Amino acid sequence: MDSDEEDFVFYGTPIEREEEITSRRKKSIAEASGHLRTLPPWKQEVTDEEGRRRFHGAFTGGFSAGYYNTAGSKEGWTPQSFTSSRKNRAEVKQQNILNFLDEDEKTELEGKSFGTSSEFDTFGFTAAELARKQAEKEQQQRPSAIPGPVPDELVLPATESIGVKLLLKMGWRRGRSIRDSHADSLYESRREARKALLAFSSDDAKTQLTDSEHGESHLESSVEQPVNDDVQSSRSTPVYVLNPKQDLHGLGYDPFKHAPEFRERKRSRLSDNRKPGYSKALSMKESLFGFKSGKVGPGFGIGALEEYDAEDEDVYGTAYDFEDTIVQEVEVEEPSGVTKDRRPRLLGKEQGVLPGFIVASKSDYQLERFDPPAVPKNFVPHHKFSGPLETNKKFADPPPPEVPPPGENNMKLLIDGVATLVARCGKLFEDLSREKNQNNPLFTFLTGGNGHDYYARKLWEERQKRNDQTMLAMDGKSSLADQKMTAESRGKLLGEKPLERSSKDLSSSVASENAIHMQYNLSDTFTKSASYSELPEIIKPFKEDPAKQDRFERFLKEKYQGGLRSTDSGKASNMSEAARAHERMDFEAVAEAIGKGKHGKESLLSTLQFMGVSPAGGMQFTSGGLEQAKDAQAENLTTKNTYPRREEFQWRPSPILCKRFDLTDPFMGKPPPAPRMRSKMDSLIFMSDSVKPTKLEESDAVNKGPYPTPQSDAQEMSKIGETEVEVKVEVENVERPVDLYKAIFSDDSDDEAETFDHKKVVEPEKKIEVAHTALNHLRAGDFLESLGKELGLEVPPELPYLMSKAKTPAPQKEITNAVAKTPVSGTPVDRAVLQHRGTTQEGESLKKTFIPGNSQSSGGKFRETEEDARAKSPSSRNRNRSSSWSSEDERSRKRSRRHRYRSSDSYSDLSGDDRDRYRSKSKGRKKGSSREKSSSSRRKHNKHKHRDSPSRSYNDAEGKKEKKKRRERD
């Protein structure tokens, strides 16, 4: 064995044999009695009778340590999770102190508990307890009709308590009150004595006394009476209410209040269950003074003549009692169901409403009455129309009945003619003709004779017609007759001048100014004129200067008449903007004065006089007296008139905004709105000195491109000096950036990019230079973007066109920094500039390539501008569209073309290796472009972000550019 054991390795603990266990037990017993006692306490081991070790340390026993030791359950202290499912209900354990006690503790507890022995069971409690327990046990053993525990009252003490025994020995009988009967007599005697005293004190009281004595005797008799057995028995102290609450109703609630028959049934059932013979006997009413009901019930044991004490009064029991008796009576008298039914119904009627409901004393529901609105005392029920009074009034005239024209044709014609005249010239004409032709038999219709009705009708018709016309003239709305009106005819009717096509000479300064004016005009074209009908008589305050007078007249016309304003650019151009503005102010003031003058002839005269006095071409009102005040007033008025000024634009709410406001989107399914006109102020600001800000802007734009890239090799670094100069030169060249877009967008140049040849290259130098700059940005941006992609960088956008192409991560500060320290930022500029050396054609093609990308990115103003640009030349638009679909091929083709142009570019001053470098870059660009499509989805996002970009000055620049563009287009 031993050798075997040495050879084998054993896993686990060997199963102990039976004999071993028994031997261990023996050993343990032996130890317990023997030597273990000698060991110190911390070395002793506690074992159970089996000899197993009991108390474990915290780390040796674990949960099971408590298995046999403390918790007398299988689980011990092992934590459990409570689970209960629908199918497998967890049993709710009623916990008891005994559950947590060990056997020995239980026995100990048993021994410690006190109880009175039956001998000294004064109140019979112990006996009752025992009896109840017995009954319970019995019930559990045999099935019973009544579920649940046996009611206490059913189980009566089996033995007579010692107290009862004593009382009985003292002469007390069951059911009787323990109260001393002599107490009453004592009280009586005392009263007697008092009465006697009273009787002695006064004779008068004698009658009273007899009276009271009489009453007393009555009382006494009534008191005496109950001294029969019956009454005496009822005199015993009321047993504590033997009607424990066993139902689940609220306190005082009686479910049988209106259905007593059910109560009766229930009770009978109960009583049947309890003591069959007993309760039935008692439910019979044998005598008035007997037990009302043998069992439970309020007022049990209270004699009929005994006074109710506060304690005795059963607050909740009265109704019960009442009902009870009634039911009992009913039951006794007529045990038929019909009468039983009648009762509750009657009761119900007494209540007035449905059983169980009570009529509310005050109802919440009240009819709300609203007083009619109070009419102010000074209110006249007549509506006044504020608009053009006459026409409205006439309009409102009720039409006279239609009358057939009189027989004679002459008469009809005459009437028609007069009616037309009267309608045109007014009532005055009618009166006049009436006076004149009083005796003329032909004109009797005027005075109410033959044909008057027809005349009236005709007149009304004429007036109506006239009104229509005036309305039409005023509103410019086409009436039924003018439904087929063309734009020109309408314009003519309204006095508009047909829009002239702007001159195609794009390089001239006049054109740009013209464009500005155009916008100016357009914005003012449809302003409502101040008054429709009355043109102020033309007064000539500037007689000396015919040109000025001419302008003044035109101004007046503009002021009082609607329609497009003509601006003679030739005349206007030789005046400075400031002078023109000044003159305009002047005209305004004069017109004001004239307008005022019309109201009072006096002032008109004075104005005229004043005008005459004022020197030739007087710019200012150097006025005296009356005029002074008037001038100030006029000025005040002008400011008041100019402000507030209302303008209306189209605005497109986002669909989700409409949804959130619970409104339908007015632009649902419509293309994006047209670009909105900026206010005149903008164009004016940038008109005269547009060069400066644009120059800044351009340089900004150029410098924005060179967002510092980490790749700045030494070779490029060395170039910085020159490139910086180059950039400067480029910027200087930008003289009229306004024209730059025109050069790109205008019709003729737009037409054929494909067949573009070197002819165009020989165009005026300025234009080309301008186009260069445009190109520079375009291409720089494009190039940088592709470069950035290659390098995995984000490149700031360059121009609005490129906006969607890239995101601008560089804050403004950084840009300025970049501008300041050129060494770093210069390198990309270098590249950009290298690339810039292109031709107009290239710009053209480049631009085209951008468009598709942009149109994909969609949304906002930029797209609109494109669309506009495209709209200018349908052919190019078509091409663009195609390019947008096959942008990839097209782009690559164009790129190759660009190379071709590059080689033939006469303006290129690049050195050979520079060009080479460019080529290599462009190759890279090609590579980058294949990724373009995938990034187009990203663009959208970028653009969105861009709009929120924190650099405001950048936005400014952008805005300005936009403005310029728009102006250009106009």
Partner 1 sequence: MNQSDLPRKEATVLRGHEGAVLAARFNGDGNYCLSCGKDRTIRLWNPHRGIHIKTYKSHGREVRDVHVTADNSKLISCGGDRQIYYWDVSTGRVIRRFRGHDSEVNAVKFNEYASVVVSAGYDRSLRVWDCRSHSTEPIQIIDSFLDSVMSVCLTKTEIIGGSVDGTVRTFDIRIGRELSDDLGQPVNCISLSNDGNCILASCLDSTLRLLDRTTGELLQEYKGHICKSYKTDCCLTNTDAHVTGGSEDGSIYFWDLVDASVVSKFQAHSSVVTSVSYHPKDNSMITSSVDGTIRVWKT
Q: How far is CA 97 from CA 72, 102, 137, 672, in A?
A: 13, 10, 21, 82
Site string for partner 1, 646-685 (x = CB under 8 A): xxxxxxxxx-xxx-xxxxx-xx-----x--x--x------
Q: Is 938 in the site for partner 1 (CB under 8 A)?
A: no
Structure tokens at 31: 């130890």
User: Three-class SS of residue 47?
Assistant: strand
Total residues contacting partner 1 by CB under 8 A comes to 32
Neighbours of 745 (CB within 10 A): 22
Q: Which of residues 67-86 bind partner 1 (CB under 8 A)?
A: none
Instruction: Quote the least distance from Cβ 647 to partner 1, whole Å.
Output: 5
Annotate 60-118 with DSSP letters as a single string.
HHGGGGGTTTT--SSSTT--------SSSPPPPP---GGGGS-HHHHHHHHHH-----G
Between 680 and 926, CB nearer to partner 1: 680
Neighbours of 728 (CB within 10 A): 12
Structure tokens at 241: 């209410």
Which stretch in 558-566, 689-697, 835-843, 942-950 sits in contact with partner 1 by CB under 8 A? 942-950
User: Among 93, 245, 640, 692, which residue interacts with partner 1 (rule: CB under 8 A)?
Assistant: 640
Q: Is 584 in the site for partner 1 (CB under 8 A)?
A: no
| CA–CA separation, 3 and 6 (whole Å) | 5
**DSSP structure class, residue 53:** B
Longest dimension (CA), the chain: 168
User: Among 373, 376, 644, 792, which residue interacts with partner 1 (rule: CB under 8 A)?
Assistant: 644
Spatial CA neighbour of 174 closest among 244, 239, 126: 239
Instruction: Quote the least distance from Cβ 954 to partner 1, whole Å.
Output: 11
Between 804 and 827, CB nearer to partner 1: 804
Contact 274, 280 (CB under 8 A): no
Between 677 and 910, CB nearer to partner 1: 677
Instruction: Quote the least distance from Cβ 249 to partner 1, whole Å.
Output: 40
Between 42 and 661, CB nearer to partner 1: 661
Instruction: Quote the least distance from Cβ 634 to partner 1, whole Å.
Output: 17
**DSSP structure class, residue 357:** -
- Going 120 to 123 to 129 to 132, the CA torsion angle's sign is positive
User: Three-class SS of residue 697?
Assistant: helix
Between 637 and 761, CB nearer to partner 1: 637
Q: Which of residues 826-865 bind partner 1 (CB under 8 A)?
A: none
**Residue 804 exposure: Cα atoms within 13 Å on the Cβ side:** 24
User: Among 10, 370, 379, 643, which residue interacts with partner 1 (rule: CB under 8 A)?
Assistant: 643
Instruction: Quote the least distance from Cβ 967 to partner 1, whole Å.
Output: 17
**DSSP structure class, residue 622:** -
Q: Is 376 in the site for partner 1 (CB under 8 A)?
A: no
| CA–CA separation, 1 and 777 (whole Å) | 100
Q: Which of residues 675-734 bind partner 1 (CB under 8 A)?
A: 676, 679
**Residue 803 exposure: Cα atoms within 13 Å on the Cβ side:** 29
Between 777 and 946, CB nearer to partner 1: 946
What's the CA angle centered on 749, arms 746 and 754, to 5 degrees? 135
Between 203 and 662, CB nearer to partner 1: 662
Between 4 and 662, CB nearer to partner 1: 662
Instruction: Quote the least distance from Cβ 679 to partner 1, whole Å.
Output: 8
Which ranges constitute the DSSP H helices of 746-839?
Answer: 747-751, 765-791, 812-820, 822-836
- Where is 785: in which H helix or E strand? helix 765-791
| CA–CA separation, 804 and 857 (whole Å) | 7
Instruction: Quote the least distance from Cβ 651 to partner 1, whole Å.
Output: 4
Instruction: Quote the least distance from Cβ 676 to partner 1, whole Å.
Output: 7
Between 157 and 797, CB nearer to partner 1: 797
Between 571 and 952, CB nearer to partner 1: 952
One-letter amino acid identity for 577? Answer: E
Q: Is 240 in the site for partner 1 (CB under 8 A)?
A: no
Neighbours of 543 (CB within 10 A): 13
Which stretch in 47-55, 124-132, 620-628, 645-653 sits in contact with partner 1 by CB under 8 A? 645-653
Which stretch in 436-444, 476-484, 639-647, 929-937 sits in contact with partner 1 by CB under 8 A? 639-647
Instruction: Quote the least distance from Cβ 811 to partner 1, whole Å.
Output: 11
How far from the centroid of its chain's Cα atoms is residue 943's Cα?
Answer: 28
How far from the centroid of its chain's Cα atoms is residue 819's Cα?
Answer: 47
Instruction: Quote the least distance from Cβ 657 to partner 1, whole Å.
Output: 5
Between 777 and 807, CB nearer to partner 1: 807
Between 61 and 653, CB nearer to partner 1: 653
Instruction: Quote the least distance from Cβ 883 to partner 1, whole Å.
Output: 31
Q: Is 526 in the site for partner 1 (CB under 8 A)?
A: no
**Residue 32 exposure: Cα atoms within 13 Å on the Cβ side:** 14
Between 78 and 953, CB nearer to partner 1: 953
Q: Which of residues 586-605 bind partner 1 (CB under 8 A)?
A: none
Which stretch in 301-309, 528-536, 641-649, 708-716 sits in contact with partner 1 by CB under 8 A? 641-649
Spatial CA neighbour of 720 closest among 799, 639, 832, 803: 832
Query: Length of the chain in residues, anyone?
Result: 970
Between 469 and 527, CB nearer to partner 1: 527
Contact 743, 766 (CB under 8 A): no
Contact 787, 795 (CB under 8 A): yes
- For 127-156, letters b (16+ CB in 10 Å) and e give bbbbbbeebeeeeeeeeeeeeeebbeeebe
Neighbour-count burial of 248, counting CB atoms closer than 10 A to its CB (0-12 exposed, 13-18 middle, 19+ buried): exposed
User: Among 13, 409, 642, 934, which residue interacts with partner 1 (rule: CB under 8 A)?
Assistant: 642
Structure tokens at 292: 């009302």
Spatial CA neighbour of 933 closest among 894, 882, 889: 889
- Going 902 to 908 to 912 to 915, the CA torsion angle's sign is negative
Between 652 and 900, CB nearer to partner 1: 652
Between 639 and 934, CB nearer to partner 1: 639
Instruction: Quote the least distance from Cβ 563 to partner 1, whole Å.
Output: 22
Site string for partner 1, 388-427 (x = CB under 8 A): ----------------------------------------
Contact 446, 430 (CB under 8 A): yes
Between 305 and 530, CB nearer to partner 1: 530
Which stretch in 259-267, 513-521, 634-642, 894-902 sits in contact with partner 1 by CB under 8 A? 634-642
| CA–CA separation, 963 and 686 (whole Å) | 9
Instruction: Quote the least distance from Cβ 394 to partner 1, whole Å.
Output: 25
Q: Which of residues 454-483 bind partner 1 (CB under 8 A)?
A: none
Instruction: Quote the least distance from Cβ 653 to partner 1, whole Å.
Output: 4
Site string for partner 1, 944-963 (x = CB under 8 A): ---xx-x-x-----------
**Residue 595 exposure: Cα atoms within 13 Å on the Cβ side:** 18
Between 862 and 918, CB nearer to partner 1: 862
State the residues that interact with partner 1 by CB under 8 A.
639-640, 642-654, 656-658, 660-664, 666-667, 673, 676, 679, 947-948, 950, 952
